[in-house]
């Protein structure tokens, strides 16, 4: 029961992190693409790092809670 709830919360956190990164990528596309920022490169880096951040922070919180 606890493990399934933790898995659900971890996945929701990762999804929220990626969604927030996607929002930032869309804002960069809209406002900064005219200034030489490549939105495809920025979006790729942003979404990849958001997924890694979400995964790592979810694991860290779970580890702290276990201790």
Among 13, 15, 17, smallest CA distance to 65 is for: 13
Residues 46-65 pLDDT 10s: 999 999 999 999 999 999 98
pLDDT, mean of residues 14-42: 96
pLDDT, mean of residues 34-51: 96
Q: What pTM was computed for the model?
A: 0.87
Going from the C-alpha of 2 to that of each of 21, 62, 65, the distances in angstroms are: 28, 11, 12
Among 27, 22, 26, 30, smallest CA distance to 46 is for: 22
pLDDT value at residue 7: 93
């Amino acid at each position: 029961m606890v493990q399934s709830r933790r898995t659900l919360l971890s996945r929701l956190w990762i999804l929220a992190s990626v969604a927030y990164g996607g929002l930032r990528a869309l804002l960069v596309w809209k406002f900064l693409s005219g200034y030489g920022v490549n939105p495809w490169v920025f979006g790729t880096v942003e979404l990849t790092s958001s997924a890694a951040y979400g995964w790592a922070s979810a694991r860290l919180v779970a580890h702290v809670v276990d201790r």
